[in-house]
Amino acid sequence: MSVQRPGELVEPAAVLLECRDEDFAALLAKCDASAEEVLVVVNRYTAALFGRPDAAAPWSLRGMGDFGGSALDAGTSLIRRGRLKWATTGAKAPDEALVESLEIAVATKRMIQAWLKDVEAVTISSKGRAGEVPPDVGRRVAMQAAWRCQFAGCGKDLSTHFATGTKGNFSYLAHIVASSPEGPRGDSADSVRLASAEENVMLLCDECHRLIDRVAPAQYSAQALREMKASNVATVRRLLDSLEYPEVEPIMLVGNISGQVHHFSSRDTEQALLQAGLRQSRSRPEFFCRNGDVLHDPHSAGYWDSLFGGLRIDIPGLQRLLTGTGTNQPRPRLAVFPLHGTSILILGGRLIGDTGGVDVFQFHRDQVARNAGGQWAWPASGPEPDANKYGFLTLRPSFGEDEACLLVSLTYDITPDRLTEACFADGQLKLPTIKVTADRFGGDVIQHPKDLELFGAKLDEALRLLQDEWKVRRIHLFVGAPASSCFRVGQKMQARHQATFVCHETGTGRGSPFMQTIEILSDKVIGPSGQWIAF
């Protein structure tokens, strides 16, 4: 990084801009070993370190940050031999000072100790400032922060010593606008006025306090710290409010899709739940049919052999969770995060059903992953769908057949020519056929929880027609829909009054035909090779 400015005697150099005390000590030791001259430029609370090989060479910036006791100890040899120079500047950031205009002196240990004492006065210590934070203000700030460091991304517990578990107060009440006009972010008018103001005080750990006051004060403006505190207070309030939210058992129905393995983030799922007014009852979710090491190929016998091996363990485990077997507890409310192959999503929906409380989330591929809740959170701008968004068409009526086709076209339009020969041949539909659609096609068609409710209601209508009126006993299922919708299809299968559902998936390539995968009966699932698992 270049730090040279017009008119300076400073040349470009690689620099460490956020030096801790120990970093400064290491830099001084390096300069000492290389026989360099060293110049430390300080203001009232932070320091910049410059070096040069000899008196004729220009000074080069080497580091900027917290010069403390460790640096002083490391610089003792340089001080003793007169190689450590010292200069004071009124600049907010010492590296911005014009070096040639400074009064440079040979440093002494007493000179540096006096400066360190002044630094304590305007940063860590309360002496020399406008006054300590009143106890009642400190208590309110700590309560707002839930005794956690308010620096963004830190959140350290400041009521407990991490290594020993000892309880105590390990926090610092840090001023946003320094309580001394000469301190970091100090102001001739606001420093005194805001010295005891609650909105001007943050709860920080020692490291973060030193970072904003002595290591890199120029990088943290008063406005940036105000925004940081406001965000922290809002987050803490939201998390505490979530104690009133209903508890749910999270279930991850995720797997390898076309070679892409979903990256699971417990933070994303937890935040997605919080945004939906829910909280998870366990630290990690249950996983169902996790197949990250199996290449997705729904038309390969080996693929289903592998999946059925896992399902023989997962299905009984899921049933124990749903029935409360072993815990003597009622069925818990569930939150399902589905992202798997179509057939497995439908099977998962059939096993979990919709008779108990089930909240289903949709993975939004176009949403920025680093947002709160990641790609599992419902989009804040997602519109509530119109009541008539979903509908169904009868493409071919029933003439008394006991088989029929159900097409679910949400992501794309499933055309009849992509169906199996049993369903479509010689340009004609061979079986009664119903198509469920939305008012548009797209991978982002599911944007709101209400979408799943309306889609489910339309599925109910289609299934009533198929099973109650047409009396079909075998339904060929072709689904092109977002993951949550596929899961919803399975939820709508009625265990006690259910036809046999024959699932199909497409092959590779755009416009490829559908081929059969698994059959879901009322009491079991049958694989392509005849393997089966009872429910």
Residue 164 belongs to a domain: yes
Same domain, 413 and 507: yes
Per-residue confidence band for 4, with pLDDT thresholds at 50, 70 and 90: very low
Q: What is the pLDDT of residue 323?
A: 86
Cα separation of 47 and 204, whole Å? 22
The better pLDDT of the pair 492, 264 is held by: 492
Q: What is the pLDDT of residue 447?
A: 96
Residue 366 belongs to a domain: no
Average pLDDT over residues 140-161: 94
Q: What is the pLDDT of residue 11?
A: 43
Domain count, the chain: 4
Instruction: Calculate the alpha carbon distances from 73 to 28, 29, 70, 523 in Å.
Output: 10, 10, 5, 77
Per-residue confidence band for 9, with pLDDT thresholds at 50, 70 and 90: very low
Query: Which pTM value belongs to this model?
Result: 0.71
Q: What is the pLDDT of residues 216-231, one digit of tens each?
A: 888 899 999 999 999 9
Please say if the pLDDT value at position 282 is more than 80: no
Residue 371 belongs to a domain: no
Same domain, 211 and 117: no
Instruction: Say if CB 179 and CB 170 are below 8 A apart.
Output: no
Worst-scoring range by mean pLDDT, 85-99, 144-158, 258-272, 454-468?
258-272
Same domain, 28 and 103: yes
Same domain, 84 and 151: no
> What is the span of the domain harbouring residue 157?
135-241
Per-residue confidence band for 381, with pLDDT thresholds at 50, 70 and 90: confident
Domain boundary among 122, 156, 173: 122
Please say if the pLDDT value at position 328 is more than 60: yes
Cα separation of 224 and 227, whole Å? 5
Instruction: Calculate the alpha carbon distances from 71 to 22, 99, 446 in Å.
Output: 7, 21, 59
Residue 2 belongs to a domain: no
Please say if the pLDDT value at position 329 is more than 90: no
Please say if the pLDDT value at position 426 is more than 80: yes
Let me know if 198 is exposed, middle or buried by CB neighbors in 10 A (0-12, 13-18, 19+).
middle
Residue 369 belongs to a domain: no
Worst-scoring range by mean pLDDT, 135-144, 320-329, 474-483, 502-511?
320-329
* Lateral strand order in the sheet of 474-480: 390-396, 433-438, 403-409, 474-480, 500-506, 514-520, 524-526, 532-534
Same domain, 225 and 266: no
Q: What is the pLDDT of residue 338?
A: 96
Cα separation of 94 and 47, whole Å? 6
Please say if the pLDDT value at position 126 is more than 60: no
Same domain, 254 and 292: yes
Same domain, 108 and 140: no
Please spell the DSSP secondary structure of 363-383, one letter per residue: --TTS-TTSTTGGGSPPTTPP
Same domain, 397 and 494: yes
Count of H-run helices and E-run strands, the chain: 13, 24
Domain boundary among 241, 266, 281: 241
Average pLDDT over residues 432-450: 97
Residue 436 belongs to a domain: yes
Q: What is the pLDDT of residue 370?
A: 61
Q: What is the pLDDT of residue 511?
A: 83
Q: What is the pLDDT of residues 495-515, one digit of tens each?
A: 666 899 999 999 877 889 999
Per-residue confidence band for 150, with pLDDT thresholds at 50, 70 and 90: very high
Residue 145 belongs to a domain: yes
Per-residue confidence band for 183, with pLDDT thresholds at 50, 70 and 90: confident
The better pLDDT of the pair 262, 366 is held by: 366
Distance of CA 60 to the CA centre of its chain: 40
Share of the chain above pLDDT 70, in %: 93
Domain boundary among 241, 260, 289: 241
Same domain, 390 and 507: yes
Please say if the pLDDT value at position 7 is more than 60: no
Q: What is the pLDDT of residue 500?
A: 96
Same domain, 397 and 513: yes
Same domain, 266 and 218: no
Q: What does pLDDT average to over the chain? A: 89
The better pLDDT of the pair 4, 302 is held by: 302
Residue 367 belongs to a domain: no
Same domain, 316 and 208: no
Helix (H) or strand (E) holding 17: strand 16-19
